[in-house]
Structure 1
Amino acid sequence: MPVVDVQSTDLICRTHDMTYKAEPFAIEAGQDIRITWSKEKMTSPYTGIDPVGPCVFWLSPLEKKGVGKVWSKIHEYTNDGGEDAANWCSAKIVNSKNYYDFTIPGEIIPGKYLLRTEIIDIISAGKTNYDDFTMGPHFYSNCLVLDITGNGTAPLKNPVSIIDVYKPYYKKPFYVEGTKNNLFKLPGPAPYTTGKP
């Protein structure tokens, strides 16, 4: 199920039972990581179809438990400049058999981190009907624990609060249909890297 209330703390990792005590996945800084989504979990319970929209990936030091200004955006992909569903990151994921690859920044300090992965369904994101939470953007976010190794010395860049940077979309459209997609901006600061068409 997606999160539809940007004021809910579920927006951080989506499920109440996602804990920071999960078994860590070991990876070296600078390596590619492959994230795979379950087909069943991607399909919207409201529309019965796959989400259409951008994806974004965040890191936070594990000991912070995802609370407060601790999240750094490390990668995002909106679309390749087109105006239809086939151009968004979500289509890239579906066409790749539900996986997406990106690189863990090579310069970050080794340690345990929470990785937040997210697909944002914008099918109804031009509206802000939060009376029954069927309208507005639908956030498919999940977290996993990474044990990042390497020789990096840099702290995470531009840490923010997930709740704070998404909160403005409680009362305004997340995406205005018909606008130029190269003007589309995801919440939060610029990432370490962006997706390439």
Structure 2
Amino acid sequence: MLFSTSTIAAVALAFASTVSAHATMFGVSVNGQDQGDGRDKYIRTPASNDPVRDLKSPNLVCNTNGGKPAPSFVKAPAGASLTSRWFHFNPNDPNDIIDPSHKGPIITYIAPFTEGNGAGPMWSKIDEQGFENGEWAIIKMRNNGGKVNFKLPSTLAPGQYLIRQELLALHMADFRGDQVEGRGAESYPSCFQVEVTGNGEAIPDQDFDFNRGYTYDNPGLFFNIHIPFDKYTPPGPPVWKSRRMRKMKRPKRPHFINTVVPEARI
């Protein structure tokens, strides 16, 4: 495979910037109401802001502390507009988000609440933002002060859930991660806990398994952003629609976990 000088230069620049480029989730807003710093409160905050490249690792799902339940939940009605907020080192600096070389999609999934790490067939995709109008979703997020807007399904059944949002950086994805050490797509997953209210009856049932569904040859993960392209499709299933519903036992509600109620905007 041959690459142009400009492509090689772009890859080299991307590699050089990776040391200071990473990101993690800071907090969530519900219908415009800031829920405050969610780290280790309702977010299962990872030990670092480093990416996950190993597609067989359980850390691919909810990162390094994915199996450590947070002590509280964000409360949100079905159909609510949610905004997640990401940062690199300084959450008070709107410019300290992620390096601009880290281009790629932002994908959001939901699953019934679990105290485990989320591994296995339990996830459904509720939002994806990829490459639109010549701009990557991560760059849009960066230009928006680290904020990502999405909605809960309006027919979502009440109960406790785990939401996984992922920044998928493709600056090194021109080589497969299982074939070239240090290369491949970089996943930045963060999971937070939400208690959904309302009268909905739909429970997402795609049963997606990240360790099986994300493969090194998946065109959404093995993709060269440094050469011209016409279209990009994010990995994973299509965005879930609530036309299909099934009855299932709702997740347990641990008695030791409190609910975060909306606070005034910070």
Provide the TM-score with structure 1 as the length reference. Answer: 0.83
Alignment check: 8 A CA contact 1:15 1:142 kept: no
Alignment check: 8 A CA contact 1:110 1:151 kept: yes
Cα distance in structure 1, aligned partners of 2:184 and 2:191: 22
One of 28, 51, 60 as aligned partner of 2:77: 28
Cα distance in structure 2, aligned partners of 1:119 and 1:145: 18
One of 226, 236, 249 as aligned partner of 1:188: 236
* Structure ID, larger Rg: 2
Higher RCO, 1 vs 2 (CA within 8 Å, ≥6 residues apart): 1
Q: What's the % identity of the aligned pairs?
A: 25
Alignment-mate amino acid for residue 187 of structure 2: F
One of 209, 220, 229 as aligned partner of 1:179: 229
The corresponding residue for 2:114 is 63
1:136 aligns with 2:165: no
Cα distance in structure 2, aligned partners of 1:26 and 1:172: 32
The corresponding residue for 2:131 is 79
Q: In structure 1, the residue corresponding to 2:148 is in which secondary structure?
A: strand
Provide the TM-score with structure 2 as the length reference. Answer: 0.62
Give the superposition deviation at 1:155. 1.3
The corresponding residue for 1:115 is 163
Alignment check: 8 A CA contact 1:128 1:172 kept: no
Give the superposition deviation at 1:21. 4.0
Alignment-mate amino acid for residue 156 of structure 1: P
Shift of the 125–25 alpha-carbon distance from structure 1 to 2, 3 Å rule, reads same
Gaps in structure 1 of 5+ consecutive residues? none
> How many aligned residue pairs are there?
183
Gaps in structure 2 of 5+ consecutive residues? 1-49, 90-95, 242-266
Q: CA RMSD in A?
A: 2.5
Residue by residue, what CA displacement relative to the aligned partner does 1:105-154 show, whole Å, maximum 9, x if unpaired? 01111111110010100001110244674211000111011111111101
Alignment-mate amino acid for residue 188 of structure 1: G
